[in-house]
Amino acid sequence: MPASPRRSSTVSLPIAIVLGLVCAGLGGFAGHMLAHRGQLGAYEPVSIVEAGLDFDARLDTGATVSSINAHAIEVVGGSTPPSVGDTGKQVRFTLENGRGESRRIEATIEQVRGIKTSDCQELRYHVYLTVRHRGESYRLLMNLNDRSGSKDKLLLGRNWLRHGFSVDVTKT
């Protein structure tokens, strides 16, 4: 008895091509949407959860660590000025946003590091704060700095961008 004829695979080839194109198109669309979801403008609205304060944060690609407007900084059982020995202690400080709203909060000093600015170098306390943006929360290391003379009360640095964000300077 002769062998039964094999079915040609050419019937399924067009279907495979169409399915491949559909999958590639959907994958490209999803990637495009995710990439644009992570694109931020020069300024972004965020809130600091611990203080319940909203900020218009400026994205600063030149800053390694984010910086927030804090004053009346007081280390519980610590010294003045900032000292590396203060690491692990509690620090009380007042956060103030660009609308003049302020809250006194407390956090653990994660580190005391030197920060180089355009005109000097100084030691600053670094604490973790929770930044809320577009419904998501991120724990972020921030240095405490009196930014009362600056228009920008919160700078989000490269440690923020590492969460999958990029800056599109054409967006405002």
Give the model's pLDDT for residue 119.
72
Token reading at 54: 């909203």
- Residue 129, beta-bridge partner list: 140
Closest CA to 69 of 166, 161, 152: 152
Q: Whole-model pTM?
A: 0.75
Do you know the residue count of the chain? Answer: 172
Sign, Cα dihedral of 145, 71, 152, 40: positive
Sign, Cα dihedral of 65, 66, 68, 74: negative
What is the tens place of the pLDDT at every residue in 32-68? 334 445 888 899 999 999 999 999 999 999 999 999 9
- DSSP E strands: which ranges in the chain? 39-40, 43-48, 53-59, 66-75, 90-96, 102-116, 121-133, 136-145, 154-156, 166-167
Give the model's pLDDT for residue 30.
41
Average pLDDT, the chain: 85
Give the model's pLDDT for residue 121.
80
Closest CA to 50 of 78, 70, 72, 33: 70
Question: 98 and 55 in contact (C-beta within 8 Å)?
Answer: yes
Q: Tokens 């923020």 sit at which residue?
A: 160
